């Protein structure tokens, strides 16, 4: 079997595996994942909020049968919260115990040099594993059987934290002054996600493969809803997708994400709707839209949006009903 065929089979296997887990991928996504695994490089996944970047990491971990460690980024995130920190409370308690036992420990030491030799043994204990509090990055490097590491919303961190990540993402190792270099037993499969709230530095980008996930087109979003909300009627599913697609064409502060489309579809099922009625849509816009200004903009355009998002059969039925009256 040729290498090309083997790679193709692996990519198709990834797509099929994601589908079974309810994550609708495509060939570009599956290819990026295959390359990230084979090249042992981090994957930087960018795109609007709610298009499935974080879910991709979760689905990959589930598909590969690996645990996932998640580091949620935020402004001010530093080494102590991401990598490790010393448990100063335990160290202080240890110091107190050492002070109380100092006489016993110094027994037999006739000179200052002998006393220093005895104390030297306890310096190594003070900065040892028993006082080390591991954080997500160090836990990922120390994983025995491989792991998926999700560094979520890296764009919310600052330039200093990006610089800190360079050693880890280049060599899958990190230097701890008191303990030496910690190298990954098995390189983790690393996902970094970004909502593009700021530009990621070139140095970090060079160390990663890149994948951009945009808002899905109507066909793909329909497939996503079929997988995530299978109880939704086919005709209604089409209407839901068409309406959301129309919203994304508007100049909104925050267009509805895929996750919000799924929530709205579940709302349709929960309220036992047979068709998308204007009153229902108006009363549930808050499921799709998160800003009052966006809701007001949509409400003003609601008749047009409803008309354009209805399929021909529904329009004919509505017109026939009006004619009969």
pLDDT tens digits along 218-229: 999 999 999 999
Q: 247 versus 5: which is more confidently predicted?
A: 247
Nearest in space to 301 (alpha carbons), one of 321, 319, 281, 325? 281
pLDDT band (50, 70, 90) for residue 66: very high
127 with 276, same domain? Answer: no
pLDDT tens profile 68-119: 999 999 999 988 788 877 655 565 666 666 566 665 665 656 566 666 666 6
Percent pLDDT > 70 in the chain is: 79
166 with 124, same domain? Answer: no
21 with 124, same domain? Answer: no
Using the predicted structure, report yes or no on whether residue 4 has a pLDDT greater than 70.
no
**Structure-token match 């099929």, residue found:** 16
DSSP state letter for 201: P
97 with 66, same domain? Answer: no
Instruction: Enter the tokens of residue 222.
Output: 């329909």
Q: What is the pTM of this model?
A: 0.80
Task: Look over the chain and give the mean of its residue pLDDT values, rounded to a whole number.
Answer: 85
pLDDT tens profile 174-190: 887 777 788 888 899 99
Full residue range of the structural domain in which residue 282 is found: 218-324
158 with 110, same domain? Answer: no
Taking the C-alpha atoms of residue 22 and residue 38, their distance in angstroms, rounded to an integer, is 24
pLDDT reported for residue 322: 42
pLDDT reported for residue 316: 47
pLDDT reported for residue 157: 94
262 with 120, same domain? Answer: no
Rounded to an integer, the average pLDDT of 150-171 is 92
Taking the C-alpha atoms of residue 147 and residue 202, their distance in angstroms, rounded to an integer, is 26
């Amino acid at each position: 079997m040729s290498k090309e065929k083997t790679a193709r089979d692996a990519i198709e296997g990834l797509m099929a595996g994601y589908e079974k887990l309810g994550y609708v991928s495509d060939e570009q996504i599956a290819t990026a994942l295959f390359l990230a695994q084979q090249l042992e490089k981090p994957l930087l996944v960018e795109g609007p909020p709610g298009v499935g970047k974080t879910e991709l990491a979760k689905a990959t971990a589930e598909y590969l049968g690996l645990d996932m460690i998640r580091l949620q980024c935020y402004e001010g995130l530093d080494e102590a919260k991401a990598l490790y920190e010393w448990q100063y409370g335990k160290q202080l308690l240890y110091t107190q115990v050492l002070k109380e036992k100092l006489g016993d420990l110094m027994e037999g030491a006739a000179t200052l040099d002998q006393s220093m030799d005895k104390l030297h043994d306890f310096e190594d204990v003070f900065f040892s594993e028993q006082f080390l509090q591991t954080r997500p990055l160090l836990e990922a490097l120390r994983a025995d059987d491989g792991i998926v590491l999700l560094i979520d919303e890296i764009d919310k961190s600052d330039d200093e934290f990006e610089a800190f990540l360079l050693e880890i993402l280049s060599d899958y190792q990190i230097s701890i002054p008191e303990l030496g270099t910690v190298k990954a037993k098995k390189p983790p499969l690393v996902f970094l996600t970004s909502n593009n709230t700021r530009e990621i530095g070139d140095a970090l980008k060079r160390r990663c493969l890149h994948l951009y996930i945009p808002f899905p087109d109507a066909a793909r979003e329909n497939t996503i809803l079929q997988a995530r909300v299978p109880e939704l009627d086919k005709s209604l599913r089409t209407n839901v997708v068409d309406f959301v697609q129309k919203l994304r064409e508007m100049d909104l502060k925050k267009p509805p994400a895929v996750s919000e489309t799924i929530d709205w579809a579940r709302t349709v099922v929960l309220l036992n709707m047979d068709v998308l009625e204007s009153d229902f849509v108006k009363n549930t816009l808050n499921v799709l839209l998160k800003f009052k200004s966006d809701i007001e903009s949509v409400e003003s355009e609601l008749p047009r949006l409803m008309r354009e998002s209805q399929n021909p059969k529904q329009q004919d039925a509505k017109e026939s009903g009006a004619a009969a009256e």
